[in-house]
Amino acid sequence: MRIGVPKEIKDHEYRVGLTPESVAELAAAGHTVVVETHAGAGIGAADGDYVSAGATVADTADEIFSAADMIVKVKEPQSAERQMLRPDQVLFTYLHLAPDPDQTKDLVKSGATCIAYETVTDGQGGLPLLKPMSQVAGRMSIQAGATALEKAQGGRGVLLGGVPGVRPGRVVVIGGGTVGFNAAQMAVGMHADVTILDRNPAVLERLENHFEANARTIYSGKAVVEELLATADLVIGAVLVPGAAAPKVVTRQMLKLMPQGSVLLDVAIDQGGCFETSRPTTHTDPTYVVDGIVHYCVANMPGAVARTSTYALNNVTLPHVMAIAEKGWQLALAENPHLLDGLNVWNGHVTCKPVAEALGYEHLHAEVAVREAGTQEVVKATPTAA
């Protein structure tokens, strides 16, 4: 198979879809890999490293998209990239479609087969391709939040760890999954005052057993959230509903409860954000202020630590890239129901139910898509709601 790796073009996105080591594995298996020039610069991988691994280097993204049977990326394709997709092409990357109607419309129109990292599952009900980036984002959220709390950054001037004789900063983590757990680990390590909220008793028990007296765990509800916001210095939004738009757990009205200069950091922004006042920001301009509350909503936080993030991501994506390259997407998905869960768009149809429900598309079951692929013409879907 011909595999294309374009350079990421999202603001301050330094990750790359494949490392030279991953390229070497694919090349050894007989596949052709074409990498856009300077695509690996952000992780310290020169064009020569890719050539040594067995890849060919192309000068432009257009060459990559024109030549490849499968495009392997990190972030969702930007508008210009979406226009280059073909009906006979596989796109394998993070998509986060539920809060992004424009991207969904373009992918549907392209006719391409689009497989999303974030909805691929495993036998334990986890999201293995999302997990490493959630680990990175969770850990980064505390250092980013600590910086945003600095007075020069618009924050209230609180040091999360405090000093002898002065109380530490109060951190509230909403959501006890991978992001929340990793955020709490970092906050506890900085000796902050940490409270973790979740609605799953089993998750709360696991967190309680892990952190013991170093962090509080509380069953989440509106009244509890409001109570904790009143004294919070840093609030981490770490709520995830796989494939769907994130629920809004902090409303604009609730901001009035918070101390001026406190920080809301929304790690769920890729899925639309879990604060009502959240909107995507970039590493270039990461924060904004609403009603005196600093908001940090960078949609590609792990891109700032590109080398760590890229290698962590390739550890979990490469086996699937290899399977698709070896077997073709249809057989690879038919044989692996967990990879099948990653199919979001095929032949002009939305095949991920939460995305279809969020954006008003008719849902075509992924199993049906795999069965019908290449066997018959299917009338393309259109949104059933504006």
Backbone torsion region of residue 365, taken as left when φ is above 0, otherwise alpha when ψ lies between -120 and 50, otherwise beta: beta
DSSP codes joined into one string, 135-163: HHHHHHHHHHHHHHTSGGGTS----TT-B
Burial of 184 (0-12, 13-18, 19+ CB in 10 A): buried
As annotated, the active-site residues are 96, 270
Q: Are 120 and 164 in contact (CB under 8 A)?
A: no
Give the amino acid at 104.
T
> What's 350-382 look like in SS3?
ECCHHHHHHHCECECCHHHHHHHCCCCCCCCCC
Containing 212, the helix (H) or strand (E) segment is none
Residues 6+ apart with CB under 8 A from 219: 197, 198, 199, 201, 204
Mark 131-154 as b/e (b = at least 16 C-beta within 10 Å): bbbbbbbbbbbbebbbebbeeebb
User: Which runs of consecutive H residues, i.e. helices, occur in 29-149?
Assistant: 47-53, 61-67, 79-82, 101-110, 131-148
Q: Are 120 and 338 in contact (CB under 8 A)?
A: yes
What whole-number distance in Å separates Cα of residue 383 and Cα of residue 100? Answer: 13
Residue 33 DSSP symbol? E
